[in-house]
Amino acid sequence: MVRRVCGCLANQGGPSPRRTGRSATGGYGSGLALQGEEATAALTIGGAHGDAVAIELVDSFGCLPEKPNCPAANGGIPEMFGALFPGILGVSPIDPPGGRCCANPLPALAGGVGRSYIVHANFASPALTLNPDAAALGGFTMVDVARGTPPRGCIRITGAEPNEVCGDVLFDTGSPQCVVTTTGVGHEGAFPPRTPVTLGVGTWSHAFEAGPGTPLRLTVRHGERNAIVVGLALLQEFDVYYDLAGSRIGLSQR
């Protein structure tokens, strides 16, 4: 499951991306597979600037064989690659496999201002805060993580089977809802209205409701490894802080 691609459609690459001649691929837990070419481009966020940032110019996309009903099935256009947006800026701290494109571009910003940042995914006022000060971090609970790997956590679902799944946790603004993958038996159908759910990462926990009567849809499916994808709907309720140099993340209590 990959959410690290800093990529855009090849015809939307900005004024001067420079192709390297090396092929690049990317994939998503939904089964969406990207094919394209690695390129370098300048990146500017507010007053911060980076040169020769590695990106993937996406020439085509399709579905992985094991997930034929991905967002690109039957000629579908994925939201983040054409339907709504021309590309995605992947700022997860997860490192790509050796020799693969593309890593988080924020650390390449001048002055090291992209080595720590807060993702505020609120629909009304989304924001990316680079190099936040101590005052901005006052409401966060910090969790240590191994360098280049996702944090571990558990999701507990009241009255459901399975009622707890623990595994890698990925905070993904490119996914609309929450998807839990378990090596056990998945949950068939929808959960009852306002099902109580708790997400825990380290000493931080957040209680919410999912199912009919709420804006949150929760899917629990069988897969090859346990994983929890926290999508955009749930990210309306808390912020995520990434400290790449300190190998930790922070989760807010708002």
Q: What CA–CA distance (Å, rounded) separates 151 from 171?
A: 10
Q: pLDDT at residue 226 above 70?
A: yes
pLDDT on residue 160: 82
Q: What is the DSSP letter of 135?
A: G
- DSSP letters for 62-109: EE-TT-TTSTTGGG---GGGTTS-SEE----SPPPPTT-S---SGGGS
Fold of 115-254: Cathepsin D, subunit A; domain 1 (2.40.70)
Check whether 189 has a pLDDT greater than 90: no
The domain ranges of the chain are 7-110, 115-254
Determine which of 113-117, 153-157, 176-180 has the lowest per-residue pLDDT on average. Answer: 176-180
Is residue 103 scored above 90 in pLDDT?
no
Whether the pLDDT of residue 95 is over 80: the answer is: no
pTM reported for the whole predicted model: 0.85
Weakest-pLDDT range from 57-61, 147-151, 202-206, 246-250: 147-151
Does residue 1 register a pLDDT over 90? no
Is the pLDDT at 114 greater than 90? The verdict is: yes
| Confidence bin at 12 (pLDDT 50/70/90) | low
pLDDT of res. 2 = 29
Average pLDDT over residues 202-226: 93
pLDDT band per the 50, 70, 90 thresholds, residue 254: low
Tell me the chain's radius of gyration from C-alpha atoms: 18
pLDDT at 140: 97
Rounded to 5 degrees, what are φ and ψ at 246? -90, 0
